[in-house]
């Protein structure tokens, strides 16, 4: 029977969820403060923790970090109000598996819990390589069935897909850079699927969720008795993924000590378990992901330059959803089909007004947030069409402010063009475009502005390409 720990100071929510989950064959424990929750975690293992983002005695991020120290393998779902979505999305870098928004809908929550537990089985925490390979094979098959429908129609999405197809057959290391929720793990899975290693394991590791003192053991394994709590020999993630691909998410959060160890693995193609005397040869392709600018991290001394260059044999940049508006409704339709299947519904479409709100919204959590919003809307919809009444206020309220925010953003992001007069600025853009053969992505890099600002400038100065 799957085990769930609910940490929430709202006793009514705890009571309702506890009864509902118990009826659905879950064993449920409840805590009303962060400290009580940590005591429960010290006393027993849980498959998933439902944790309120706002607790009376501790912040959501701080509690999440402590949970991951006690049990790095446990899945954590954050409970939040929609006003906190932007902040809650940041908890993914500390190891959160998903988030749900208040008001809570039991049927939707049940689907989220099931999906989270299944996905977590294929991540860090598998105690045997056979079990890990089996779980990861299933996860890969699940992703395969949806791959062709989720590439995206925008220029940015198509470019990413071309890069994936180009780099996949090689054994080059790849860095995938993009905001939280942009689909970095999906891209990594696609590279693995199209590679010569497709029949071998794909293992995803969240470096942000690895406590410094346990990261070495999780990545490279340990021998019985090598430290307090090492009760048996344990293979590390690199051993489990041997022959296949290892995906190191949020690589920038890896401690300096473990960066050194990772560099050795890349250089020598060998690992050594903690407490072992012999090396183990491994053959693993490394795909790393980050929501940070690693070049900046290198300059600030937070990331080793030699490791960066070893990993950066090829880089894929994922644009946030707000910069590829053509994809919003395409992905929304995909998530609609998924939600219908998960919730056993048959909602057919979105109203025109809902589509307008979707394309106007900022999407702080990118694809992950869009997926959650669509799933919630499907649950609330009783007819064939999703109406505005099924959208959270965060979507409708924020969309009305976007036009003003975009104007401010344009002024803030002008950068080096800011000091150039009107005529000179127009000429500078034209010169940059000519220099890169009218490639907009390269032109925006040359001008040190983002693509969205470039498009606004092209429209402002009536520059046709």
465 assigned to some structural domain: no
Range with the poorest average pLDDT among 123-127, 167-171, 226-230, 260-264: 123-127
196 assigned to some structural domain: yes
Judge whether residue 214 has pLDDT over 80: no
In tens, the pLDDT along 254-273 reads 888 889 989 999 999 999 99
Judge whether residue 233 has pLDDT over 80: yes
The SS3 call for residue 62 is: helix
Are residues 265 and 153 located together in one domain of the fold? yes
The CA–CA distances, whole Å, from 267 to 201, 262, 281, 310 equal: 21, 9, 12, 8
Tally Cβ neighbours within 10 Å of residue 114.
Answer: 15
- Comparing CA positions, the residue from 25, 34, 53 lying closest to residue 110 is 25
Residues 6+ apart with CB under 8 A from 48: 2, 3, 4, 5, 74, 75, 76, 77, 97, 113, 116, 117, 120
Region 403-427: what's the mean pLDDT? 56
- Final residue of a domain: which of 391, 408, 425? 408
Are residues 116 and 139 located together in one domain of the fold? no
Residue-level pLDDT at 403: 52
Q: What is the pTM of this model?
A: 0.63
Q: The domain spanning residue 453 has which CATH number?
A: 1.10.10
Judge whether residue 350 has pLDDT over 90: yes
Of residues 61 and 205, more confidence is placed in: 205
Are residues 80 and 164 located together in one domain of the fold? no
Are residues 282 and 215 located together in one domain of the fold? yes
Residues 6+ apart with CB under 8 A from 254: 207, 210, 215, 248, 262
Domain count across the chain: 4
Residue-level pLDDT at 145: 39
Of residues 325 and 133, more confidence is placed in: 325
d(CA 428, CA 413): 16
In tens, the pLDDT along 380-409 reads 999 999 999 999 888 887 655 555 555 555
Q: How confident is the model at residue 420 (pLDDT cuts 50, 70, 90)?
A: very low
- Final residue of a domain: which of 318, 345, 376? 318
Judge whether residue 27 has pLDDT over 90: yes
- What is the residue whose two structure tokens read 């925490």? 125
Residue-level pLDDT at 134: 41
Domain that holds residue 361: 321-408
Judge whether residue 446 has pLDDT over 70: yes
Region 359-365: what's the mean pLDDT? 91
Residue-level pLDDT at 400: 55
In tens, the pLDDT along 267-322 reads 999 999 999 999 999 999 999 999 988 999 999 999 999 999 999 999 999 999 99
Are residues 69 and 98 located together in one domain of the fold? yes
Q: The domain spanning residue 138 has which CATH number?
A: 3.40.50.300
Q: Report which DSSP code applies to 104.
A: P
């Amino acid at each position: 029977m799957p085990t769930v720990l609910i940490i929430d100071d709202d006793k009514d929510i705890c009571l309702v969820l506890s009864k509902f989950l118990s009826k659905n064959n879950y064993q449920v424990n409840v805590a009303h403060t962060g400290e009580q929750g940590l005591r429960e975690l010290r006393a027993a293992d849980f498959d998933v923790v439902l944790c309120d983002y706002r607790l009376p005695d501790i912040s959501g991020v701080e509690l999440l970090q402590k949970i991951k120290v006690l049990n790095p393998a446990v899945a954590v779902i954050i409970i939040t109000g929609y006003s906190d979505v932007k902040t809650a999305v940041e908890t993914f870098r500390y190891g959160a598996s998903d988030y749900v928004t208040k008001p809570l809908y039991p049927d939707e929550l049940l689907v989220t819990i099931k999906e989270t537990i299944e996905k977590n089985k294929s991540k860090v925490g598998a105690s045997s390589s056979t079990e890990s390979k089996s779980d990861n094979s299933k996860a890969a098959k699940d992703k395969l069935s949806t791959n062709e429908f989720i590439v995206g129609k925008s220029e940015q999405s198509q470019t990413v897909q071309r890069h994936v197809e180009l780099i996949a057959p090689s054994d080059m290391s790849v860095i995938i850079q993009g905001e939280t929720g942009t689909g970095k793990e999906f891209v990594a899975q696609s590279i693995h699927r199209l590679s010569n290693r497709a029949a071998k394991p794909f293992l995803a590791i969240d470096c942000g969720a690895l406590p410094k003192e346990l990261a070495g053991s999780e990545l490279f394994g340990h021998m019985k008795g090598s430290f307090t709590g090492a009760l048996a020999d344990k293979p590390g993630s690199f051993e489990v993924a041997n022959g296949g691909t290892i995906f190191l998410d949020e690589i920038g959060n890896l401690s300096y000590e473990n960066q050194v160890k990772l560099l050795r693995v890349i250089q020598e193609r060998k690992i050594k378990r903690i407490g072992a005397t012999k090396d183990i040869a491994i053959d693993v392709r490394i795909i790393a992901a980050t929501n940070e600018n690693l070049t900046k991290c290198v300059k600030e001394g937070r990331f080793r330059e030699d490791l960066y260059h070893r990993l950066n044999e090829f880089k894929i940049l994922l644009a946030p959803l707000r910069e590829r508006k053509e994809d919003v409704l395409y992905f929304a339709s995909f998530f609609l089909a998924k939600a219908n299947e998960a919730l056993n519904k048959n909602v057919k479409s979105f109203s025109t007004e809902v589509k307008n709100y979707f394309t106007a919204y900022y999407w702080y959590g990118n694809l992950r947030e869009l997926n959650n919003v669509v799933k919630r809307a499907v649950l609330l919809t009783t007819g064939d069409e999703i109406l505005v009444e099924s959208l959270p206020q965060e979507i409708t309220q924020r969309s009305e402010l976007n036009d003003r925010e975009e104007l401010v953003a344009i002024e803030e992001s002008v950068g080096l063009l800011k000091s150039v007069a009107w005529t000179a600025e127009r000429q500078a853009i034209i010169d940059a475009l000519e220099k890169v053969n009218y490639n907009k992505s390269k032109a925006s890099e040359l001008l040190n502005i983002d693509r969205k600002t470039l498009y606004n400038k092209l429209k402002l100065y009536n520059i046709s390409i």
